[in-house]
Amino acid sequence: MRNLEPVKVTHTAPRLSGLATDLYQLTMAAGYHANGRHERASFEMFIRRLPENRSYLVVAGLEQALSYLNNLNFNEEEIEYLRRLPVFAHVSREFFDYLSEFRFSGEVWAMPEGTLAFPGEPLLRVTAPLIEAQIVETFLLSTINFQTMIATKAARIVEAAQGRGVIEFGARRAHGMGAGIYAARAAFIGGCIGTSNVEAGYLFDLPVYGTAGHSWTLAFEKEMDAFRAYHQVFPESTTLLLDTYDTLQAARLATEFGLQLRGVRLDSGDIGALAKQVRAILDEAGMTETRILASNDLDEYKIAELLAAAAPVDLFGVGTELSTSRDAPALGGVYKLVEVEFPDRIEPKMKLSREKATYPYRKQVWRNLDSEGKFAGDIIAMASETDHRGEPLLKPVMREGQLLEAPPTLNQVQQYSKQQLAGLPLRYKTIRDAETYPVRFSDGLFQQRMQLMKQLEQG
Amino acid sequence: MRNLEPVKVTHTAPRLSGLATDLYQLTMAAGYHANGRHERASFEMFIRRLPENRSYLVVAGLEQALSYLNNLNFNEEEIEYLRRLPVFAHVSREFFDYLSEFRFSGEVWAMPEGTLAFPGEPLLRVTAPLIEAQIVETFLLSTINFQTMIATKAARIVEAAQGRGVIEFGARRAHGMGAGIYAARAAFIGGCIGTSNVEAGYLFDLPVYGTAGHSWTLAFEKEMDAFRAYHQVFPESTTLLLDTYDTLQAARLATEFGLQLRGVRLDSGDIGALAKQVRAILDEAGMTETRILASNDLDEYKIAELLAAAAPVDLFGVGTELSTSRDAPALGGVYKLVEVEFPDRIEPKMKLSREKATYPYRKQVWRNLDSEGKFAGDIIAMASETDHRGEPLLKPVMREGQLLEAPPTLNQVQQYSKQQLAGLPLRYKTIRDAETYPVRFSDGLFQQRMQLMKQLEQG
C-alpha cells in the first residue's frame, strides 16, 4: 500500500502555467522569434453568432483573464519540457531563453465584467508584441468564453424568476470542480444570489446556501428523527428536504417546527402542484414565513412555467442547466489579428475565408441610448473614429502589462450587470423569441474593409 | 498602476481544498458529528440514464478522484472561514477540531478507468464513516461525471474516424482551462491520439499536436512568405493552414515544399469537396505522403459523413464538440447511500421518491461474455452474492484511505478502453440507433428491494 504523491496534477485543477495554451501558439511564437518579428500587434476577441436561444451576452471572466496576463511565465521545468518536444528540435536556444524571461508587457482594452455585449462586438483587445499577444489567445478565450456563457445563462434564469432568488447548485455536474467554481462566480455576475459551492464562496466572497441531502434523511430510522436532529444543530437555518419518501407526509411532519422552520425543499415530482399543496399545509400551520425552495433540473423555461401557473415557490436552486449552460454549452468566441504596427506604418489585417471573414483595424463599440435612457443600438467603429456618440464600451484596463486599477468587487459587478439588463428594452431580452438588438459597423470601417478586401483579393 | 497580487484565485483553477464541496455536505457533516453518528456508510455512484445519443459510457476520472481522497484536508484559514459562516453559528468547536484533523480513511471499490459502463451500474463505491463519505460526494461526482462524459464522446468520435487519428483541439471552448486540461486527458482515454493542449501534454505525458493559426499567415505580407518562414523553423513538422484567403490557391503554393511537407489543414468551407481537390493538387505534385488534417466544428456525425463520401482526410482535429460534449454536455451521475453499518446490524438504505428511487445494498457488477468473448450482458447484484458468473467489474482500489496500487499509465488505460470497446458488439455501439445493452438486477437484489420498499411504505 502506498500514498499517491501530492502529484503535480492537483485536483480542482492544475496551477497557472505558460504551458496552458495550444501548441500552435508556441510554435508560432518560436516562428515569430526566429524571424525577428517583434512588431506590436492587436488582436480582438468577439463572438461571431449568439448561441441558440440567446439574444445578448453578459461579459464575465475579465478578472481571471487579467490576473493570468499579469502573472504569466514559464518555469525551468516547463521550458525543459518544451525543448524536449520533437517539434522544437530545430528551434534555437535563444527562443527558450526568451521564454524564461517572458512577461506579458502589452496593453488591454476590455468591456468591464457585467457589460451586455452582442455579436461582432470586441469584448477585449490586446495590443502587444506579436509573440505575447499570440501565446495568450487560448487562455483568454477559454476563460472569457466560459464565464460569459454562464453569466448569460444565469441572467436569463434570474429574469425568468421575476425577483425570486436563484441559487447556483451545479458543482456536481459542472465540467470538473474548477469549472464549477468559476461557474458559481459567473452565475453571481448574472444575478444569482449565491451558490452551494463552498470553495467559490471562500475564494470570491459569495453568499453560500445549503439545505440537507436525501442521505441525511436516509441515515436515520424515521424521517422525523432526521428532521429533528438537523433542526437542533441548525435552529435558525434549517431547510428540510421533503421528497425522500413522501413529500406531503414530510410536509406535515415539518409543521411540528412551526415558525422556527426557515424553509422546505422540493426536489422531485410535479413541483408546481406539490408547491401549492405544501404551501397550504404550511400556511394552515401558521408557517406563512417558511419558504419553499424548488430544485430538480430547473431552467428559465421551467421556472417561467411554474410562475405562470402561480406556483408558490420562493427560491430556485438551479444546477446542471446553469453550471453547464446545457442548452447552449459552448460560446464560440474567437480572437483575431486586426492590425500589425510596423516602424513605418500600421497594417490592417483580416481573414477572407468565406464564413469566417473578419473586420480589420482596432475597434471601439459605441452604445446609444434612447430618450428614456434605454439601449437603442450599438455601432462598431475603428478606434480612430472618435466622432461617434454614445458610451464607448471598451475601456483601457492594462498598460505595459500592469493593471490600471484594482478590479471591482463582485457585488459591484453584479450591480452593474443589473443596470445593464435594466437598460435593455424588454423586446430584446425575453427568454423566447427576443428581437435582434441593432448593431452595425460604422460607415468608415465598412469602407476601409471593402478597400482592404479588394487589395487582398488582387494580392 | 499596480499589479494584481498573485491572489488566492489561481488561474487555471483553485488549489485542492476540503471546501471544494457543496455547503450541505458540510452542514450534514456537522449534523452527523453533533449526533455522534460515526457509523460506516456505503455510497455508490451511478448514472440513472444515458444522455441523448449515447449507448455506453467509458469510465474516466478515477485517478483524480482517488488523488483527491488521498490528499483531502482543511487548513486553518478554511476552517476559520467556515466558523464565520452564519449557518454554523450554533455548531460546536469540536466539529471544527474534527475538521482540522480530517483525513479520508475509507475503502473504495471502482471500475478501472477505461471500463465500459451502463445505466444503473455502480462505477464507484465508497465505504467510510458517514461524515467522510458525505463530504466527498460533490468532488467525486464532478470529476467522474465530467471525465466519463468526455471519454465517452471521444470514443464515439474515434469510432466514427475508422482508424484515422483524432486530436483533441478544444481548449478554447472548454469550460475554463482546468476543464480543457482534464478534457484532453479523458479524450485520450477515449482513444484520441493526443491534444493541442500543452499543459495537458506536460501534466499527463500526452502527445501534443499543432499546426499554425490564421494569424501567422496574416502577420506576413504574402501567404507564401508565411508558409516559407514557418517551414524554415519547423522543417520536419510543418502543417500549413490553407484557408486564410483561398484554399486551393494556398494548396498550390504548398506544392513548392514537395515531399518535405508533413501536412496541410482545412478549417472552413466544404471540407469534403476541398479535401478531394487539395488531395489532387498534392498528388499531382508527387506529395502523396503529405497528410490532410480537417477541423471546423467536427463531431462523430460529420466525420462519418465525410468518410462515407470518401473524403481523403487523414487526421481530424476536434474541438468544441469534444471538449464540451456539446450534444450531451452533462452526465447525471448520482451518489447514493445504500447501507449503514450499525454495531449490531447492517441497514440497507433506499430512496422512494418516484422518478428517483434507488437500489439498496452494496453491489457488484458482473459482466458475461458470449462464446466469442464479446460482452453478452451485465448483472447488478448485491456484493454479498458471490455466485454470479462473469467478470466482477468493481475492484478494490483504496483501503483505510490508502491506495492499493499505483494507478495505471494513461497508455495502459487507453489500451484497456480499446479492448473494452472491441468487446462490445457493434449493434450496441453504432453512433446512431444503437441497441440497448442488456443489464439487469439480480433476483436476490430485486427481492430484497421489494421487501425493503414494503417496510418503508408501511413505516
Torsion sign over Cα A147, A150, A156, A160 = negative
User: Given an 8 Å threshold on Cβ–Cβ distance, is A177 in contact with B139?
Assistant: yes
- The CATH 3.20.20.70 portion of chain B extends over 151-323
Non-local (6+) Cβ contacts of B131 within 8 A are B29, B32, B33, B37, B38, B98
In angstroms, the CA A318 to CA B345 distance is: 38
- Distances B459 to A246, A274, B31 between C-alpha atoms, Å: 11, 22, 24
Non-local (6+) Cβ contacts of B292 within 8 A are B263, B264, B265, B266, B275, B278, B279, B282, B312, B313, B314, B315
In angstroms, the CA B203 to CA B409 distance is: 12
Q: Which of A92, A172, A193, A221 is most worth mutating to test chain B (most B CB atoms within 10 A of its CB)?
A: A172
Q: Which of A320, A36, A311 is nearest to A170 (CA)?
A: A320
Q: Rounded to the nearest 5 degrees, what angle is found at the Cα of A87, between the Cα atoms of A83 and A92?
A: 50
Contacts of B444-447 with CB under 8 Å at 24 or more apart are B444/B381, B444/B382, B444/B385, B445/B359, B445/B361, B445/B363, B445/B380, B445/B381, B445/B382, B445/B385
User: Given an 8 Å threshold on Cβ–Cβ distance, is A212 in contact with B24?
Assistant: yes
In chain B, the residue whose alpha carbon lies closest to the alpha carbon of A458 is B245
A74-82 mean pLDDT: 96
A376 to chain B nearest CA, in Å?
31
Q: Which amino acid is present at B425?
A: P
A71-81 mean pLDDT: 94
Paired residues of A45 in beta bridges: A124, A335
- The answer to whether residue A454 neighbours chain B at the CB level (below 8 Å) is no
B298 touches B316 (CB < 8 A): yes
- The answer to whether residue A215 neighbours chain B at the CB level (below 8 Å) is yes
Exposure pattern of B261-293 as b/e (b: 16+ CB <10 Å)? bbbbbbbbbebbebbbebbebbeebebeebbbb
Q: Which of A109, A319, A207 is nearest to B141 (CA)?
A: A319
Q: Which of B200, B153, B179, B203 is nearest to B417 (CA)?
A: B153
Identify the DSSP state of A171.
G
Q: What are phi and psi of B404, to 5 degrees?
A: -80, -30
- What residues in B contact A127, CB-CB < 8 Å? none
Length in residues, chain A: 459
Q: Rounded to the nearest 5 degrees, what angle is found at the Cα of B100, between the Cα atoms of B127 and A200?
A: 85
In angstroms, the CA B228 to CA B223 distance is: 9
Can you give the pLDDT of all 459 residues of chain B as single tens digits? 333 333 333 334 445 689 999 999 999 999 999 999 999 999 999 999 999 899 999 999 999 999 999 989 999 999 999 999 999 999 999 999 999 999 999 999 999 999 999 999 999 999 999 999 999 999 999 999 999 999 999 999 999 999 999 999 999 999 999 999 999 999 999 999 999 999 999 999 999 999 889 999 999 989 999 999 999 999 999 999 999 999 999 999 999 999 999 999 999 999 999 999 999 999 999 999 999 999 999 999 999 999 999 999 999 999 999 999 999 999 999 999 999 999 999 999 998 877 778 899 999 999 999 999 999 999 999 999 988 999 999 999 999 999 999 999 999 999 999 999 999 999 999 999 999 999 999 999 999 999 999 988 886
* Stretch 294-333 of chain A: residues touching chain B, C-beta under 8 Å: 320, 324-326, 329-333
In angstroms, the CA B259 to CA A235 distance is: 77
B401 Rama class: left (phi>0) / alpha (psi -120 to 50) / beta: left
Set of cell numbers at residue B101:
484533523
- The answer to whether residue B202 neighbours chain A at the CB level (below 8 Å) is yes
- What residues in A contact B354, CB-CB < 8 Å? 268-269
- Distances A285 to A223, A239, A260, A288 between C-alpha atoms, Å: 19, 17, 12, 8
User: Given an 8 Å threshold on Cβ–Cβ distance, is B209 in contact with A23?
Assistant: yes
Total Cβ atoms within 10 A of residue A376: 16
In angstroms, the CA A115 to CA B6 distance is: 25
Question: Any alpha helices (H) in A236-270, and if so which ranges?
Answer: 247-254
- What residues in B contact A46, CB-CB < 8 Å? none
A289 to chain B nearest CA, in Å?
18
User: Given an 8 Å threshold on Cβ–Cβ distance, is B326 in contact with A329?
Assistant: yes
- The answer to whether residue B336 neighbours chain A at the CB level (below 8 Å) is yes
Domain B23-150+328-458 bears CATH identifier 3.20.140.10: yes
B352 touches A244 (CB < 8 A): yes
Torsion sign over Cα B275, B301, B187, A334 = positive
Q: Rounded to the nearest 5 degrees, what angle is found at the Cα of B237, between the Cα atoms of B212 and B283?
A: 95
Q: Which amino acid is present at B190?
A: G
pLDDT in tens, A334-379: 999 999 999 999 999 998 877 778 999 999 999 999 999 999 999 9
User: Given an 8 Å threshold on Cβ–Cβ distance, is B68 in contact with A11?
Assistant: yes
- The answer to whether residue B235 neighbours chain A at the CB level (below 8 Å) is yes
Q: What are phi and psi of B384, to 5 degrees?
A: -75, -15
Q: Which of B100, B56, B55, B53 is nearest to B77 (CA)?
A: B100
- The answer to whether residue A16 neighbours chain B at the CB level (below 8 Å) is yes
Give the residue carrying C-alpha cell 524554415.
B232
The percent helix, strand, coil of chain B (3-state, each to 5) is 40, 20, 40
Give the CATH number of domain A151-323. Answer: 3.20.20.70
Residue A9 clears pLDDT 60, i.e. is over it: no
Strand order in the sheet with A107-110: A346-348, A333-341, A40-47, A124-129, A107-110, A395-399, A402-403
- What residues in A contact B459, CB-CB < 8 Å? 222
pLDDT attached to residue B14: 43
User: Given an 8 Å threshold on Cβ–Cβ distance, is B353 in contact with A66?
Assistant: no
A395 touches A123 (CB < 8 A): no
- The answer to whether residue B106 neighbours chain A at the CB level (below 8 Å) is no
Q: Are strands A40-47 and A124-129 parallel, antiparallel or unpaired?
A: antiparallel
In angstroms, the CA B103 to CA B95 distance is: 14
Q: Which of A31, A64, A235 sits opposite B229 (nearest CB)?
A: A31
Task: Write the DSSP string, A102-155.
Answer: -----EEEEPPTT-EE-TT--SEEEEEEHHHHHHTHHHHHHHHHHHHHHHHHHH
- The answer to whether residue B173 neighbours chain A at the CB level (below 8 Å) is yes
pLDDT attached to residue B343: 92
- What residues in B contact A175, CB-CB < 8 Å? 146, 174-176, 179, 182-183, 324, 329
**pLDDT band at A459; cut points 50, 70, 90:** low
Q: Are strands B263-266 and B291-294 parallel, antiparallel or unpaired?
A: parallel
Q: Which of B128, B164, B175, B191 is nearest to B413 (CA)?
A: B191
- The answer to whether residue B35 neighbours chain A at the CB level (below 8 Å) is yes
- Distances B219 to A36, A48, A226, A348, B215 between C-alpha atoms, Å: 12, 22, 67, 10, 6
- What residues in B contact A196, CB-CB < 8 Å? 22-24
pLDDT attached to residue A3: 38
Non-local (6+) Cβ contacts of B337 within 8 A are A214, A215, A218, A219, B41, B42, B43, B349
In angstroms, the CA A230 to CA A253 distance is: 13
A60 touches A148 (CB < 8 A): yes
- What residues in A contact B17, CB-CB < 8 Å? 12, 199, 202
pLDDT attached to residue B458: 81
- The answer to whether residue A273 neighbours chain B at the CB level (below 8 Å) is no
Length in residues, chain B: 459
- The CATH 3.20.140.10 portion of chain B extends over 23-150+328-458
pLDDT attached to residue B117: 98
Exposure pattern of B71-110 as b/e (b: 16+ CB <10 Å)? bbebeeebbebbeebebbeebeeebbebbeebebebbbbb
B384 to chain A nearest CA, in Å?
21
In chain B, the residue whose alpha carbon lies closest to the alpha carbon of A266 is B353
In chain B, the residue whose alpha carbon lies closest to the alpha carbon of A4 is B67
- Cβ burial of A294 (10 Å; 0-12, 13-18, 19+) is buried
A69-74 mean pLDDT: 92
Give the residue carrying C-alpha cell 471502482.
B110
Identify the DSSP state of A78.
H
Taking one residue from A and the other from B, the number of pairs with CB-CB distance under 8 angstroms is: 444
Give the residue carrying C-alpha cell 441515515.
A219
- What residues in B contact A213, CB-CB < 8 Å? 24-25, 28, 134, 137
* Stretch 58-87 of chain B: residues touching chain A, C-beta under 8 Å: 63-64, 66-68, 70-71, 78, 81-82, 85-87
Exposure pattern of A86-116 as b/e (b: 16+ CB <10 Å)? ebbeebeeebbebbeebebebbbbbbbbbbb
- Cβ burial of A444 (10 Å; 0-12, 13-18, 19+) is middle
In angstroms, the CA B406 to CA A94 distance is: 39
Three-state secondary structure call for residue B219: coil
In chain A, the residue whose alpha carbon lies closest to the alpha carbon of B7 is A67
